[in-house]
Amino acid sequence: MLTLNFGVPALIFSTLTKLDVSPAEFGEIFGIFGIFLAANLIIGAILLKMFKLEIGAFLPALSFPNNGNMGLPLCLFAFGDVGLALGISVFVLMSTANVTIGFACASGKWSLISMLKTPFIWIIAAALIFMCTETAPPRWVANTAEIIGGMSIPLMLVALGVSLSRLEVSDFKKSFWLSFVRLFIGFGLGVSLAELFELQGVTRGVLILQCAMPTAVMNYLLAARFDREANGVAGIVVVSTFMSLATLPFLMLFVLQG
């Protein structure tokens, strides 16, 4: 929680205010990833209905990838600071959708308050003001955000490892096939949208990379909180992550050559 509430918001602010990434470029990938999330939700709901699985429990697991703990470090590794900035755009939208749509799926009710409590929205709004006006934040603010944000990437990787070590797979067969669906649909939609909108370079790579990430741990936390097939969702988180690690070299080769 320390990383999510302080480290990641500081990383978002520091990265966006010090890089030469235009609001238009930032908004482009934000909007396209929004289309990805909508398509993911629709396809996921149809598939779960076909296979008679509980939509409230498994739809978030199929729809919301791990764009933070896993996606951001990979964007930084593959494309540098510019890739990290664009990856953050995706992460902010996914996180907001996860605590609103994901919360609604798991609890059965919509909560605007959950969205307003998300610190990423307010931090990115502040950063966009500086980006649009082409002004630099006060030195002490920028330095503080850079120092605190600098700890986020390694802490996210540690948090992912700790979370995975605590989860168990109760039904491997179901977890495997739902994990396959998550990764296959994510990659397929990412490539399709990149082609449709004629994305090039870093923007194309970041979009495909973030779309193809495994299921986020947050989906398990929501399922456990509302007692919605928590063991099944935990299995998808674990299996999809290890499947993703196995296919990651090929994914990285694809996005870097594209």
Q: What is the pLDDT of residues 71-110, one digit of tens each?
A: 999 999 999 988 988 998 898 888 878 878 888 887 777 6
Residue range 103-131: average pLDDT?
Answer: 75
Q: Please say if the pLDDT value at position 120 is more than 80.
A: no
Lowest-pLDDT range of 98-102, 110-114, 191-195, 205-209: 110-114
Overall domain count for the chain: 1
> What does the pLDDT read at residue 9?
83
Q: For residue 247, what is the enclosing H or E element?
A: helix 230-257
Q: Is the pLDDT of residue 150 over 90?
A: no
Name the residue range of residue 141's domain: 2-257
Most confident of 11-15, 145-149, 187-191: 187-191
pLDDT score, position 115: 61
Lowest-pLDDT range, 5-19, 60-74, 210-224?
Answer: 5-19
Of residues 25 and 206, more confidence is placed in 206
What whole-number distance in Å separates Cα of residue 166 and Cα of residue 217? 11
Whether residue 8 has pLDDT greater than 90: no
**All residues at 6 or more sequence positions from 220 whose CB lies less than 8 Å from its CB, including other chains:** 61, 163, 167, 230, 233, 234, 237
* Burial profile 172-207: b = 16 or more Cβ within 10 angstroms, e = fewer: eebbbebbebbbebbbebbbebbeebebeebbbbbb
pLDDT at 61 over 90: yes
pTM: 0.83
**What's the CATH code of the domain at 226?**
1.20.1530.20
The residues, ordered by sequence, that sit 6+ positions from 143 with a Cβ below 8 Å of its Cβ are none
For the chain, how far is it from start to end, CA to CA, in angstroms?
36
Per-residue pLDDT at 114 exceeds 70? no
At which residue do the structure tokens 């989860």 appear?
167
Distance set, CA 27 to CA 32, 210, 236 (Å): 9, 16, 31
CB count within 10 Å of CB 59 equals 23
Task: Specify the pLDDT at position 68.
Answer: 86
Give the pLDDT band (50/70/90) at residue 159: confident
When pLDDT is averaged across residues 2-31 and rounded to a whole number, the result is: 78
Helices 172-196 & 55-63, crossing angle to 10 degrees? 50
Of 14-23, 25-34, 232-241, the range with the highest mean pLDDT is: 232-241
Local confidence band at 157 (pLDDT 50, 70, 90 cut-offs)? confident
Q: What is the DSSP string of 82-102?
A: HHHHHHHHHHHHHHHHIIIII
Per-residue confidence (pLDDT) for residue 50, from 0 to 100? 93
Per residue in 40-55, pLDDT (tens digit) is 999 999 999 999 999 9
Q: What is the mean pLDDT of residues 212-220?
A: 90
Mean pLDDT, the chain, as a whole number? 86
* Cα separation, 172 vs 254, whole angstroms: 28
Residues 210-225, mean pLDDT to the nearest whole number = 88
